[in-house]
Structure 1
Amino acid sequence: MPGETKNQDTDGRGARRRSVVSLIADVTVPVVVYYALLAFGWSSGSALVAATVAIGVLVLAVAVKERRVDGFGVFVLGVCAVTLLVSLVSGDERLLLAKDPFTSGLAGIAFLGSLVFGKPVTFFISRRIRALTPARRLGWDRLYAAEPEFRKLHRVSTAGWGVVLVTESAARLVLIYLLPASVMVGLSTAIELTAITGVVAWTIWYRRRSAGHGLEKSLRTADAAPAAV
């Protein structure tokens, strides 16, 4: 009925907003905790420990509340843990500068590795945002299995992210040991932001191009999967 459809659409939009907020929280919580504690005078090591604990608590809360493991949150937790380990094993200035490109490169390797083992990373990120019920997640899994263009979309976009992250990471690591540390403090961040901005713009363009070829209809079909199967 029209009223029921309207309520379902409203509930769907609300659930999608919550999913997006959760995804953003996975990324921003450890960063906010880290820099906030630095501002309050905490040491970098202590702030990193607190940030790692914070994202760990968030992942655990999602697991308890939704009875499922938040894969992206676990990935962020792993990156935080690696960053903490690298920071603790040495006080060398250049090694500390290298921890950001190192973790960025690790993320790129994870993206590329997902092309060989399991499904591409961008599939899981997109499914988390758009497929908000077990039935709809199943619909996305079926779409991935049945639709070659859908698989291509996520394999190409995941490959793009992986190549960009590994490349910018390698470039920053090389420059860290070629240029003065005082120069790389700012330049490293500039390189990273430029690379991320570029790959985000490319991802949006590629997604729209794929949608223009009729893929969006298949996505809407998967999103409209019934609440129960």
Structure 2
Amino acid sequence: MSSPAATLTAPVAEAAPLAPRKALVDSLKPLLVDVALPLAAYYALKAAGLSTFGALAWSSVVPAVRTVWGAVRERRLNGLAALMVSVNAVSLLLGLVSGDPRLMLLKDSGVSSIIGLAFLVTALRGRPMLSAGLRPWLTRGEAAKTAAWERLSAGSPDFRRAEIRFSAIWGGALLTECALRAAGAYTVPVETMVWAGTVLMVVSMVLAFLVSGRFGVVPMERMIAAEAEAPSER
């Protein structure tokens, strides 16, 4: 027969491992709502037979509402939601242009340029947008690592520089890809550029992943691990 103390503490012990998981889910919610949901809605609507224009328009509803709601009620701009609205708006405008296959090839370049510019501008302003998506993966919902991130982001110049480098590298990679695809759209045969554009995208993503990992993620991981362990060493 278990003691009253054991009975009271058992649920707490069982629930404890769920806390990091819940924290991770909570930190991922902005990405899921502002990025994953609109993308999933777009492809689902396309599969259901809706036109590209209609799918883009309807998939923009959630991020558009969140952008307006944040601006009106919270008096702040929801960066990820606003970015998705901007990307879809450009896609809709470019989608209205028909007849020239080379202009249609520029559509993806236009989208990449907006995303890359947003990453680069927020990095140069010292408020890197990609940090919101990077934080859940580096902290994994662990309280010690989350607290370490907060302290480092608020008071460590080295950590802030690593955050900025990460977003700047991705922004630069996307803008470079955009410039190359735009140039290729009018200098390379359309049939060639259709597959070459995909190759450019894959190469730029792989390079951005490797370089940003080396100069952004790795230093940040080390600083977070050291900061998270520091309190227990004192």
TM-score range, shorter chain: 0.7 to 0.9
Aligned to 1:149: 158
The answer on whether the counterparts of 1:121 and 1:158 sit within 8 Å (CA) in structure 2 is yes
3-state SS of the aligned residue for 1:121? coil
3-state SS of the aligned residue for 1:217? helix
Q: How does 1:11-50 map to 2 (within 5 A)?
A: 11-20=19-28, 22-24=30-32, 26-50=34-58
Deviation at 1:96, TM superposition (A): 2.0
Aligned to 2:120: 112
Aligned to 2:192: 183
Structure 1 57/108 Cα, relative in aligned 2: closer, same or farther at 3 Å? same
Query: Higher Cα Rg: structure 1 or 2?
Result: 2
Deviation at 1:178, TM superposition (A): 1.4
The answer on whether the counterparts of 1:131 and 1:140 sit within 8 Å (CA) in structure 2 is no
Task: Output the amino acid matched with 2:133.
Answer: I
Deviation at 1:181, TM superposition (A): 2.3
Aligned to 2:103: 95
The answer on whether the counterparts of 2:163 and 2:216 sit within 8 Å (CA) in structure 1 is no
Deviation at 1:42, TM superposition (A): 2.5
Aligned counterparts of 2:228 and 2:28: Cα–Cα separation in 1: 18
Deviation at 1:207, TM superposition (A): 4.4
2:225 is the counterpart of 1:217: yes
Deviation at 1:221, TM superposition (A): 7.2
> Which residue of 164, 168, 175 maps to 2:173?
164
Deviations for 1:180-224, whole angstroms, at most 9, x for unmatched residues? Answer: 223222221221122112212333333453157x412356379xx
3-state SS of the aligned residue for 1:120? coil
Alignment RMSD (CA, Å): 3.8
2:210 is the counterpart of 1:201: yes
Task: Output the amino acid matched with 2:89.
Answer: A
Task: Output the amino acid matched with 1:13.
Answer: R
Aligned counterparts of 2:165 and 2:13: Cα–Cα separation in 1: 35
2:130 is the counterpart of 1:122: yes
Structure 1 116/50 Cα, relative in aligned 2: closer, same or farther at 3 Å? same
Aligned counterparts of 1:47 and 1:181: Cα–Cα separation in 2: 25
Could you list the runs of 5+ residues in structure 1 that have no partner in the other structure?
223-229
Task: Output the amino acid matched with 1:205.
Answer: R
> Which residue of 168, 173, 184 maps to 2:182?
173
Deviation at 1:13, TM superposition (A): 1.7
Could you list the runs of 5+ residues in structure 2 that have no partner in the other structure?
1-8
Percent sequence identity is 31
What TM-score do you get using the length of structure 1 for normalisation?
0.74
Structure 1 105/68 Cα, relative in aligned 2: closer, same or farther at 3 Å? closer
